[in-house]
């Protein structure tokens, strides 16, 4: 079946194109859209080599069998470039949903996030798929998406008439997104390739700097992901390199093959290959379903959990994967303080192959070296870069509201200001100290924690002090540490004038 699939995909990709009109050397999205509209079925619209087309709205295919490419089909920097213009409302550059046998080839697509900005809720640079078959993206560079993915092949939403036979080959993808959220709380991460189509091929792509998933397989029964290279960003943390964690197609991954891919963690990948309903989430009730195969992959560098499986049934083969190049010990590049106790356990063992036996049912062939987790390991997206043992604040430098996250995030310890006006220190998730002054009615927007310019640490409700260290006029520095007594206030000479053992 694999041979038949690949042959059919390659045949579709190699269909002869209609003769193209003169290449496009300048213009905007309207120039390309007009050429597609007037050309109709089979139109080939080509950019001139080295052309740069800046757009303020998306380019949309209009008929089956159309193509957007660069004249002469170069594969390097001379490929024509389509770039989002600053100030525009575009997030998708090329949209090709619901058209059969369209081709995007040998061009460069730049979402221009650094210049045009993050687009909260925005779509991928490339949006294809839908009720369709035979689409191809090849020798394309896609980078800097304003939205959530560099390349998205979307499903049809109808399992009886799925998107199928998509070919994504020999593309250079990334960088895609950044870590964390912006100042408004909008997620900044983005996928490399997001596949939601059946009987499809993702092969020979290089994905550099994905910050969400490198290749995300949304079920996609019958699909093959092979011979790709996925490298995490040198600047940002990535969630996972290859993900088999989503429940599209009723959770079916039947016939999915993930083989001979190379995964390299530079700054950090949390997961190399994540498999199952619980690898990315907390105890989903329904497992994902095989049979699926994960073989011959090589994982190296800074990857906290190279292969992890939990929440799977109906067949899995994980054999012949090489993880000896993963950096050891894990603590040299990552920290599991934010993880559950069970995940911390396998992290501290430097386990590279992890499974939770009750969470993997049905036929299974797991290579030697798998470590059984001591508990229900859910959500492996919990590791971080190494955390410090202490953090210091100068007088006047800390003013926060409640429930705004830890004001000190340390190895094994966090200190946070809660919504009931309580200052709490937790070690591995368990409270070890609290200021103790709580408001039974809650803060209702009136609370603050301040280490003020006088050197006093206190909590306030509607401007009135509720709890205080009484160090005003003497305190110069507050130090939060990951061992008792947890919080200290020091004077200008560095002498401790208050800590959590002192009564206030």
CA distance 164 to 475: 66
**Region of poorest pLDDT, from 15-19, 135-139, 161-165, 292-296:** 15-19
**Region of poorest pLDDT, from 146-155, 239-248, 350-359, 432-441:** 432-441
What pLDDT, on the 0 to 100 scale, is given for residue 21? 78
pLDDT in tens, 287-325: 999 999 999 999 999 999 999 999 999 999 999 999 999
Comparing CA positions, the residue from 179, 96, 171 lying closest to residue 130 is 96
* CATH 2.90.10.10 domain span(s) along the chain: 390-499
What pLDDT, on the 0 to 100 scale, is given for residue 503? 63
Residues ≥6 apart with Cβ < 8 Å to 352: 299, 305, 306, 307, 323, 326, 369
pLDDT in tens, 52-98: 999 999 999 999 999 999 999 999 999 999 999 999 999 999 999 99
What pLDDT, on the 0 to 100 scale, is given for residue 504? 53
What pLDDT, on the 0 to 100 scale, is given for residue 339? 94
Assign 33 a pLDDT band (cuts: 50, 70, 90). very high
**φ, ψ dihedrals at 37, nearest 5°:** -65, -45
Averaged pLDDT, 241-259: 97
pLDDT in tens, 424-468: 999 988 899 999 988 888 888 899 999 999 999 999 999 999 999
Nearest-5° angle of CA 175, CA 103, CA 243? 45
Please say if the pLDDT value at position 188 is more than 60. Answer: yes
Q: At the topology level of CATH, where does 18-211 sit?
A: Pectate Lyase C-like (2.160.20)
Averaged pLDDT, 334-350: 95
Question: In CATH, what is the architecture of 390-499?
Answer: Orthogonal Prism (2.90)
Averaged pLDDT, 118-126: 97
Both tokens of 444, joined, read 């209702």
Both tokens of 329, joined, read 């010990």
Assign 3 a pLDDT band (cuts: 50, 70, 90). very low
pTM score over 0.85: yes
60 forms beta bridges with 95
* CATH 2.160.20 domain span(s) along the chain: 18-211
Give, in order, the Cα–Cα distances in Å from 420 to each of 244, 303, 426, 452, 460: 40, 38, 16, 21, 11
**Region of poorest pLDDT, from 13-17, 229-233, 252-256:** 13-17
213: helix, coil or strand? strand
Averaged pLDDT, 111-115: 97
Residues in the chain, overall count:
504
Number of H helices, E strands in the chain: 4, 46
Residues ≥6 apart with Cβ < 8 Å to 445: none
Average pLDDT, the chain: 94
Averaged pLDDT, 394-408: 95
Omega within 30 of 0 (cis) for the link into 106:
no
Please say if the pLDDT value at position 16 is more than 60. Answer: no
Both tokens of 100, joined, read 């059969």
Please say if the pLDDT value at position 127 is more than 60. Answer: yes
What pLDDT, on the 0 to 100 scale, is given for residue 443? 87
User: Does residue 447 come out as left (phi exceeding 0), alpha (psi in the -120 to 50 range) or beta?
Assistant: beta
Averaged pLDDT, 465-489: 97
Averaged pLDDT, 18-46: 92
Assign 4 a pLDDT band (cuts: 50, 70, 90). very low
What pLDDT, on the 0 to 100 scale, is given for residue 20? 54
In percent, the amount of the chain with pLDDT more than 90 equals: 91
């Amino acid at each position: 079946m694999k041979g038949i699939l690949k042959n059919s995909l390659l045949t579709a990709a190699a269909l002869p194109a209609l003769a193209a009109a003169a290449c496009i050397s300048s213009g905007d999205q309207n120039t390309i859209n007009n050429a597609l509209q007037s050309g109709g079925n089979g139109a080939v619209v080509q950019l001139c080599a080295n052309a740069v087309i800046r757009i303020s709205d998306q380019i949309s295919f209009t008929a089956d069998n159309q193509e957007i490419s660069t004249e002469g089909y170069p594969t390097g920097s001379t490929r024509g470039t389509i770039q989002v213009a600053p100030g525009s409302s575009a997030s998708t550059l090329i949209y090709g949903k619901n058209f059969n046998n369209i081709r995007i080839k040998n061009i460069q697509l730049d979402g221009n996030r650094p210049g045009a900005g993050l687009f909260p809720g925005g779509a991928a640079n490339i949006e294809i798929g839908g009720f369709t078959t035979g689409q191809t993206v090849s020798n394309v560079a896609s980078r800097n998406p304003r939205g959530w993915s560099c390349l998205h092949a979307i499903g049809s939403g109808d399992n009886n008439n799925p998107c199928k036979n998509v070919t994504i080959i020999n593309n250079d993808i990334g960088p895609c997104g950044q870590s964390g959220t912006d100042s408004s709380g909008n997620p900044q991460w983005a996928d490399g390739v997001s596949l939601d189509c059946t009987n499809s091929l993702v092969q020979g792509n290089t994905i550099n700097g994905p910050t969400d998933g490198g290749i995300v397989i949304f079920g996609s029964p019958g699909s093959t992901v092979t011979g790709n290279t996925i490298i995490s960003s040198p600047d940002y943390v990535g969630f996972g390199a290859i993900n088999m964690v989503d429940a599209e197609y009723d959770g079916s991954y039947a016939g999915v093959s993930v083989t001979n891919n190379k995964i390299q963690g530079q700054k950090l990948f949390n997961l190399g290959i994540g498999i199952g309903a619980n690898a990315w989430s907390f105890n989903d009730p329904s497992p994902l379903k095989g049979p699926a195969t994960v073989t011959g992959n090589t994982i190296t560098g800074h990857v906290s959990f190279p292969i992890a499986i939990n929440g799977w049934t109906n067949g899995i083969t994980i054999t012949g994967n090489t993880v000896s190049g993963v950096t050891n010990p894990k603590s040299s590049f990552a920290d599991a303080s934010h993880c559950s106790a069970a995940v911390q356990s396998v992290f501290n063992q430097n386990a590279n192959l992890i499974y939770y036996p009750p969470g993997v049912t049905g036929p299974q062939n797991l290579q030697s070296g798998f470590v059984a987790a001591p508990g229900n390991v859910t959500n492996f997206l919990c590791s971080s870069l190494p955390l410090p043992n202490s953090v210091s604040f100068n007088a006047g430098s800390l003013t926060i509201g409640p429930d705004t996250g830890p004001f000190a995030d340390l190895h094994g310890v966090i200190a946070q200001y809660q919504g009931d006006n309580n200052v709490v220190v937790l070690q591995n998730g368990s409270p070890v100290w609290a200021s103790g002054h709580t408001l039974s009615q809650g803060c209702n927007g009136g609370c603050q924690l301040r280490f003020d310019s006088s050197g006093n640490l206190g909590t306030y409700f509607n401007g009135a002090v509720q709890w205080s260290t009484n160090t005003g006029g003497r305190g110069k520095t507050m130090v939060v540490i990951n061992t008792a007594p947890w919080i200290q206030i020091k004077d200008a000479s560095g002498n401790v004038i208050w800590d959590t053992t002192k009564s206030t």
